[in-house]
Structure 1
Amino acid sequence: MGRLTIQEAGQLIRDRLRGDRRLEIATKAAHDFVTDVDRACEKLIVRAIERRFPDHAMVAEESHQNAIQDGFTWIVDPLDGTTNFIHGFPFFAVSMALALNGRIILGWVLDPLRGELFEAAAGAGASLNGRPLRVRSSGSLDDILLATGFPFREKALLAPYLAAFAAVFQRVGGIRRAGAAALDLAYVAAGRVDGFWELGLKPWDVAAGMLLIEEAGGLVTDFRGGDQALTCGHIVAGTPWAQPWLRETVARHMLPHLDPVPGRAVRSQ
């Protein structure tokens, strides 16, 4: 059901891109936009889930911003990378995940432009269009490629973020900021990049991608090295040989500015 539904959402996006109807764009917050395509995709996905699983809980970016519940909870981002989509920058995705008692057990990330469907099931591995995925098995810090995202929701943390960015940048082969965390995480699972970090993300940004990486042999933690990335929104992911160094480097600059209570971004003054 998940595979079929996310592919239908991807087709909706492609149909809108081929049409001549203008996008309807609204501003949710500073630098945070929503389009009629976001809403239409979410409506399609939510209706499909509710028809099949009426007793399951839902967390969805545009209409169901609830906490993850006990039992089964679907976590949906109908269009991750909305700003990219608006500008015609070809890096955006649809993301769906299913959690059981707070643990992600199924995940899908679809790149509708490239026709790439990343899938994972807990304990059963990860795949891209049916081909097994593994993170890159070895490398050196000097040649690794990383991905990140800027803290547009947490402007107060821009200075320490830039300090962390500088420390990482001086040590690695390259860093990319493409603007869709779900795809960034999928690219880690596929071995296209070796690590990713960002702060202030929402569960729908990371749920599917976290499972993809774990099932592809990678590591995912919060900045403290714990397992709260899904709920606190501060995530460091990567290969087993790169992620520990990346987490330590980011944590050194970020942790003094974060509230010790998971889920609260800025240390209380």
Structure 2
Amino acid sequence: MNELPPGKSGRSALEVAITAAKEAGEILLAHFGATRRIKHKSKGNLVTDVDILSEELVLKLLKDEYPDYNVLSEESKFSSPIAGHTWIVDPLDGTNNYAYGIPFFCINIALVVDKDILLGVTYDPVRGELFQAQKGQGACLNGSVICIPKVDTLQTSLVGLDLGYDE
């Protein structure tokens, strides 16, 4: 695995991503169900003021720890190609659900180096579920190793799919 330097505080990149996701989750929960400003980015694709609040917090935490790393975030205007160390952030995955009071949303944070995914964190603040994975080290849910059953056919699989809203 590509060894990552610690952040400015001495914490690992995974620890920093987990902290950022959990703190963003607190913001999302604090505002969930409240009236908010909603904008339409495109047909069926919403952005709320809470998307922006969550993004600002996550980006600040990541940039404070790793100021030289690039960031690609859903709500920011970042158009450079992914090169070098790059954080990829969705500060509110499930904005449509969130905006309409449906409690299925999360925060996603990943770190890539030259398109090689090194780690990922998904946090569901409603259920308190934290998924984390590091390249070569497997994945965990709330600290317990996730074991994926071997399946050979689609008939014995469970598949979730969201085709999105854009035409």
TM tier relative to shorter chain:
0.7 to 0.9
Identity, in percent, stands at 36
Aligned residue in 2 for 1:104: 117
Give the structure with higher Rg (CA).
1
SS at match of 2:90: strand
Distance 1:93 1:37 in 2: 12
- Superposed counterparts of 1:127-138, under 5 Å: 127-138=140-151
Distance 2:164 2:47 in 1: 18
Q: Is the 8 A contact 2:151 2:157 kept in 1?
A: no
The match for 1:45 among 54, 58, 62 is 58
TM-score of the aligned structures, taking structure 1 as reference length: 0.54
- Higher relative CO (Cα under 8 Å, sequence separation at least 6) belongs to 2
Amino acid aligned to 2:111: L
Distance 2:32 2:23 in 1: 14
SS at match of 1:146: coil
Structure 1 residue runs of 5 or longer lacking an equivalent are 156-269
Establish whether residue 11 from structure 1 lines up as the match of residue 23 from structure 2: no
- Superposed counterparts of 1:111-150, under 5 Å: 111-138=124-151, 140-150=153-163
Aligned residue in 2 for 1:77: 90
The alpha-carbon deviation at position 142 of structure 1 amounts to 3.0
Distance 1:101 1:139, change over 3 A: closer
Amino acid aligned to 1:98: L
Q: Is the 8 A contact 2:32 2:98 kept in 1?
A: no
The alpha-carbon deviation at position 69 of structure 1 amounts to 2.6
Distance 2:107 2:76 in 1: 15
The C-alpha deviation readout for 1:95-151, integer Å capped at 9, x for no partner, is 000001111101000011000000001111100000001222236533432111124
Aligned residue in 1 for 2:8: none
SS at match of 2:32: helix
Aligned residue in 1 for 2:165: 152
RMSD, aligned CA: 1.6
SS at match of 1:90: coil
The match for 2:72 among 53, 56, 59 is 59
- Tell me which protein shows more helix as a share of its residues: 1
Aligned residue in 1 for 2:11: none
Q: How many residues align?
A: 152
SS at match of 1:120: strand
Distance 1:64 1:8 in 2: 23
Aligned residue in 2 for 1:26: 39
The alpha-carbon deviation at position 67 of structure 1 amounts to 3.8
